[in-house]
Amino acid sequence: MRYQGREVDVEGRVRLVMESALTARDRVGVQDFVLLENYNSEATFIENLRRRFGENLIYTYIGSVLVSVNPYKELEIYSKQQMERYRGVSFYEISPHIYAVSDNTYRAMRTERKDQCILISGESGAGKTEASKKILLYYAVTCPTNDHMATLGDRLLQSNPVLEAFGNAKTLRNDNSSRFGKYMDVQFDFKGAPVGGHILNYLLEKSRVVHQNHGERNFHIFYQLLDGGDNDLLITLDLERNPQNYNYLGNCPRLSSVSDKNNWKVVMKALSVIGFTEEEVQKLLNIIASVLHLGNTQFGEREEGETYITTETQITNLAKLLGVDGSALREALTHKKLTAKGEEMISPLDFEQAVSARDALAKAVYGRTFTWLVEKINHSLALKEEIYHSGKGCSVIGLLDIYGFEVLQHNSFEQFCINYCNEKLQQLFIELTLRSEQEEYETEGIAWETVQYFDNKIICDLIEEKHKGIISILDEECLRPGETCDVSFLEKLEDTLGGHPHFVTHKLANGKTRRVMSREEFRLLHYAGEVNYNVNGFLDKNNDLLNRNLKEVMCQSDNQILSHCFRREEVIGQKRPEMAATQFKNSLTKLMEILMSKEPSYVRCIKPNDAKQPGRFDEVLVRHQVKYLGLMENLRVRRAGFAYRRRFEAFLQRYKPLCPETWPNWHGRLADGVSALVNHLGYKAEEYKLGRSKIFIRFPKTLFTTEDALEAKKPDIALTLQTSWRGYRERAKYQRIRRAVIVIQSGWRGMKARRRAKRRRQAAELIRRFIKGFIYRHEEYCPENEYFLDHVRYSFLKNLSKNLPKSVLDKNWPKPPPSLDEASEHLRRMHMRNMVTKYCRRVQPEWKKQMMQKVVASEIFKDQKDSYPQGVGRLFLDSRLEREQINLKVIQTLANDKVQYGVSVIKHDRRGFKPRSRQLLLTNTFAVLVDRTKTKQRIDYTTLRGISVSSLSDGMFVLHLPNEDNKQKGDLVLHCNHVIELVTKLAMMASKVNHVNISPGSIRFAMARGKEGIIDFVRGSELKVTKGKRGHLLVTAPRINST
């Protein structure tokens, strides 16, 4: 953000601009004179200039007029950066500068499509030419370039050294004083690129060619040629290097500030850039040399009064250089041709006439060549045809570099013309300023207020009016037959203009004025001040006569430049060419028309001292210029209305902190905002007016008060700005984070949604495949059902893995899908085997024994005997008898055969079935029946034929013993509560597992001597062993609620 109103310049020093400059006004003054409270005071005006000059602020505005004071030193304000600084910036926003004027003009041309002009005026040495060069340079650097005309900028810039060489000279006031007026048009295409240029020249000071005041020089080109031209060139021109040898060059010492030699190179280069051919340059130099030779042409007077040329060699040189016939030239220089009554007569010139004829020729040759030079440059700068025709609206910026009012000790015809020109320019200024002021009031809708100003029309008329004006009278006097001289002209003036309020002569003046006027002078009261003109030479200068025979000679020149400059028609035609003053008047009228059609800007140049010294401010000299530049008048016109005007937005923007309603921002109409603001500030009705887009403030004081209030308010504003800036920064930070969060959020949501959608799609697809698979589930494995089948398998296996039977006894097994029947079965078996293996690994040896016994028990009894489920469920003990329960004697009898198992049994006698309590002990090879201490019977396993039990729940069992010999007592009928356990162990030990029979109804058994006993078994409520009829043993076995 650029802090409005403050600028830091290249030196880093704070340069205050416009309004804020008001606060520093004590030091650097105001940068616009319209802000001077006392605008009628010349002293205040000059004091303001002085202060600024002291601070190296050489530029100051009067409204849109730029006043520039020559610093006579290089200031660091013309760099490229400075150009950039002023580019596109509003006029008032930044310190006054020639670049601001240039830029403003350029932008006005571009935006309004209206031709512009910049009028630069001021005394000789005040810096006009420098200013115009700065403007051109600004355009050359900052404007876009047109490929077509890339070189145009160069040519425009290069035209300067050429014109300066031929048109500038050292004067007492300025080492490089332009001795002609220049108006230059720069044409821009619709893109704003410079595409063409045109120069109009005014009033070349030709008299300088033949005569210069003491301490002044002729035009630079002569010295440059002599100093810079190489020897060969000088030889061809028959010139010597020493300027002292030439009468026309006076005896002015060399310049210290200017190097003629270097400038010669610059000019020669410039000529070629502009497009002069070598031949043209040669011809041009021939003419320059010929002028020097003319100056050295001397005349002698013979006794009979005849004039002759004493320097014959000069004539030869001249003839060669001018390309004319030598004798014709000699003749023409010493004779004049008259036409009387249709007859041509030749009459000799007297000495003085011959000298002035020679000088007239020199002036004419040089003057016309200069005009040719300008034409030639114009040709080179001319807008090329094709661009002109395709030129969709070329616009023009004109630059007028012309002398300001000139008031010398002796003022002659030249000063008269120049001051007349300035009078016209002032008229234009008033007209245009008032016009633009009025236009502004109109567009702003403000009632027009008459502006009091000095209308200088009366003076312009005094000079230029037909028949009555000074120029008309002068022309008349020149043409009048009979004796005319400057004095008769003065008398004529007195006759015609006597009594005019702006015209005085010695005769007409009152005593006081008379004292400061000579008898040969007339005084004009210009708008800027009074100037006395000496009439001596007026007629001659106005006549600007060149003898006809000299013209004729020049017409025949074979130097193309001269034959172009001296036209045959001029000699043949009887019509007298226009007088110098009239010519000037006409060209001025044309110039006014040109300027009138354009939007003007003004640069007024002031010279601070005559010594060309930096830092010196000669108040007397400056006051004189301020007067003759009409600056006070400028200011008065400008201030007649309102001192200050500013667009609403700019005004509001600057002063809004001063009113709570408009601070920090005004949201309504701008006009209302400004209105609220000025009401709050207490502006009185007569102090200001509101237009459509601008506020007009009548007195600077009003503005200053406002400005001071703003200054006082600044700390508050700074605070507010700081707070709101911080707020803004934090808000911005927060917004940034928020935006980031949203981005992440939406990214994440998007991703989630995409995932979900993908999952849904997959799910739908899956369901579809599933359904399809289901439909095809009975088909062979194929793409349609592969998923379904795989899934069924998979889920079966998955389910199976979770529901595997935990124990061998658990026979549950999930039902497999048909395709997995086989695999399922495999798995089931593997699992079972695995469980068994695992189980087996876990089994202890005793348990293993137990199991083995149970397996055997199962083999024997399973599903055969009612008590089996009960019996097998119990633990098979190693022995049912404690060791102490077995009689020691019995153990001793058994000796080595260890009792493996012992149990209490009841033995039923074979006869009578009497029950007797016994112990049955089993060893590895036999069993013994023991009755307390006695071993009753030993049964070798080898002899055991078999074992019988009933199928019921009773504990009866029969051991079948051998009966081949009758000595045997028969089979043993026993009862044991642990019949399953006992029989199992016995069968295992005796290896008689296959010899256990289980009889459902009855068991037959052998008794002694071949007899046979029978045991019948029935089911009853409780166990009962009784002797039945027929001698059978009847065993009632209780029913067992087997499940």
Ligand X SMILES: Nc1ncnc2c1ncn2[C@@H]1O[C@H](COP(=O)(O)OP(=O)(O)O)[C@@H](O)[C@H]1O
From 64-72, 81-89, 457-465, 982-990, span contacting ligand X (CB under 6 A): 64-72
Kindly state the tokens that stand for 932: 């307390």
CA nearest to 549, candidates 579, 577, 571: 571
Task: In angstroms, give the least distance from the CB of 65 to ligand X.
Answer: 16
Distance CA 918, CA 50 (A): 159
Contact 614, 131 (CB under 8 A): no
For 428-440, b/e burial (b = at least 16 CB within 10 A) is bbbebbbeebeeb
DSSP string, 629-686: TTHHHHHHHHHHS-SEEEEHHHHHHHHGGGSTTTSS---S-HHHHHHHHHHHHT--GG
Q: Mark residues 121-140: x for contact with ligand X by CB under 6 A, - for none.
A: -x-xxxxxxx----------
Q: Which of 124, 536, 785, 953 is catalytic?
A: 124
Task: In angstroms, give the least distance from the CB of 132 to Mg ion.
Answer: 8
**Does residue 164 touch ligand X according to CB under 6 A?**
no
Nearer to Mg ion, 180 or 696 (CB): 180
Cα-based distances in Å from 190 to 114, 193, 395: 12, 7, 7
Q: Residues for the chain: how many in total?
A: 1043
Kindly state the tokens that stand for 1017: 């078994």
Nearer to ligand X, 536 or 625 (CB): 625
Distance CA 170, CA 213 (A): 10
Q: Using CB under 6 A, which of 60, 102, 158, 176 touches ligand X?
A: 176
Q: Which does 228 bind (CB under 5 to 8 A by kind): Mg ion, ligand X, none?
A: none
Kindly state the tokens that stand for 691: 């237009």
Distance CA 834, CA 543 (A): 145
Q: Chain-centre distance of CA 831, in angstroms?
A: 80
Task: In angstroms, give the least distance from the CB of 182 to Mg ion.
Answer: 8
404 is catalytic: yes
**Does residue 60 touch ligand X according to CB under 6 A?**
no
Nearer to Mg ion, 178 or 634 (CB): 178
Does residue 577 have a cis peptide bond before it, meaning omega lies within 30 degrees of 0? no
Nearer to ligand X, 422 or 984 (CB): 422
H helix intervals, 776-820: 783-802
Contact 1002, 1014 (CB under 8 A): yes
Task: In angstroms, give the least distance from the CB of 83 to ligand X.
Answer: 14
Q: Which of 5, 122, 125, 295 is catalytic?
A: 125
Q: Which does 127 bind (CB under 5 to 8 A by kind): ligand X, Mg ion, none?
A: ligand X
Task: In angstroms, give the least distance from the CB of 129 to Mg ion.
Answer: 3
Q: Which does 122 bind (CB under 5 to 8 A by kind): ligand X, Mg ion, none?
A: ligand X
Q: Which does 130 bind (CB under 5 to 8 A by kind): Mg ion, ligand X, none?
A: ligand X
Q: Using CB under 6 A, which of 146, 178, 334, 609 touches ligand X?
A: 178
Distance CA 690, CA 237 (A): 71
Q: Mark residues 180-219: x for contact with ligand X by CB under 6 A, - for none.
A: ----------------------------------------
CA nearest to 970, candidates 986, 983, 958: 958
**Does residue 348 touch ligand X according to CB under 6 A?**
no
**Does residue 275 touch ligand X according to CB under 6 A?**
no
Q: Which does 176 bind (CB under 5 to 8 A by kind): ligand X, Mg ion, none?
A: ligand X
DSSP string, 555-580: HT-SSHHHHHHS-HHHHH--SPPPPH
Task: In angstroms, give the least distance from the CB of 232 to ligand X.
Answer: 32
The torsion of the CA quartet 902, 908, 909, 914, rounded to 10 degrees, works out to: 130
Q: Which does 415 bind (CB under 5 to 8 A by kind): ligand X, Mg ion, none?
A: none
From 68-76, 381-389, 828-836, 855-863, span contacting ligand X (CB under 6 A): 68-76
Helix axes 670-681, 700-775, angle to 10 degrees: 140
Nearer to Mg ion, 213 or 933 (CB): 213
Q: Which of 129, 160, 307, 609 is catalytic?
A: 129
Task: In angstroms, give the least distance from the CB of 69 to ligand X.
Answer: 9
Task: In angstroms, give the least distance from the CB of 418 to ligand X.
Answer: 12
Q: Which does 605 bind (CB under 5 to 8 A by kind): ligand X, Mg ion, none?
A: ligand X
Q: Which of 171, 178, 307, 317 is catalytic?
A: 178
Our separate counts of H helices and E strands in the chain read 37, 33
**Does residue 177 touch ligand X according to CB under 6 A?**
yes
Radius of gyration of the chain (CA): 70
In 10 A of CB 635, how many CB atoms?
Answer: 23
129 is catalytic: yes
| Interacting residues with ligand X between 69 and 98 (CB under 6 A) | 70-72, 74-75
178 is catalytic: yes
**CA atoms lying within 13 Å on the CB side of residue 452:** 1
**Does residue 158 touch ligand X according to CB under 6 A?**
no
Pairing of strands 915-922, 503-505: unpaired
Task: In angstroms, give the least distance from the CB of 94 to ligand X.
Answer: 18
Task: In angstroms, give the least distance from the CB of 127 to ligand X.
Answer: 3
599 is catalytic: no
Distance CA 90, CA 110 (A): 14
Task: In angstroms, give the least distance from the CB of 605 to ligand X.
Answer: 5
Nearer to ligand X, 178 or 543 (CB): 178
Q: Which does 29 bind (CB under 5 to 8 A by kind): ligand X, Mg ion, none?
A: none
Distance CA 1006, CA 983 (A): 19
Q: Which does 950 bind (CB under 5 to 8 A by kind): ligand X, Mg ion, none?
A: none
Distance CA 155, CA 490 (A): 46
Nearer to Mg ion, 258 or 387 (CB): 258
124 is catalytic: yes
Task: In angstroms, give the least distance from the CB of 280 to ligand X.
Answer: 27
Note the residues at the interface with Mg ion (CB under 5 A): 128-129, 178
Task: In angstroms, give the least distance from the CB of 137 to ligand X.
Answer: 12
Distance CA 147, CA 155 (A): 14
Q: Which does 656 bind (CB under 5 to 8 A by kind): ligand X, Mg ion, none?
A: none
From 66-74, 182-190, 647-655, 743-751, span contacting ligand X (CB under 6 A): 66-74
Cα-based distances in Å from 435 to 107, 449, 599, 828: 20, 12, 11, 118
From 24-32, 117-125, 670-678, 793-801, span contacting ligand X (CB under 6 A): 117-125
682 is catalytic: no
**Does residue 406 touch ligand X according to CB under 6 A?**
no
User: Which residue type occupies 911?
Assistant: R
From 169-177, 458-466, 491-499, 616-624, span contacting ligand X (CB under 6 A): 169-177
For 664-702, b/e burial (b = at least 16 CB within 10 A) is eebeeebbebbbbbbeebebeeebbbbbeebbbbbbbeb
Distance CA 764, CA 758 (A): 10
Total residues in contact with ligand X, by rule CB under 6 A? 18
Q: Which of 406, 414, 437, 477 is catalytic?
A: 406
From 86-94, 170-178, 788-796, 901-909, span contacting ligand X (CB under 6 A): 170-178
The dihedrals phi and psi of 624, each to the nearest 5 degrees, come to: -55, -45
Nearer to Mg ion, 546 or 605 (CB): 605
Q: Which does 816 bind (CB under 5 to 8 A by kind): Mg ion, ligand X, none?
A: none
Q: Using CB under 6 A, which of 605, 676, 820, 972 touches ligand X?
A: 605
**Residues in touch with ligand X (CB under 6 A):** 70-72, 74-75, 122, 124-130, 174, 176-178, 605
Query: Which residues are part of the catalytic machinery?
Result: 124-125, 129, 174, 177-178, 404, 406
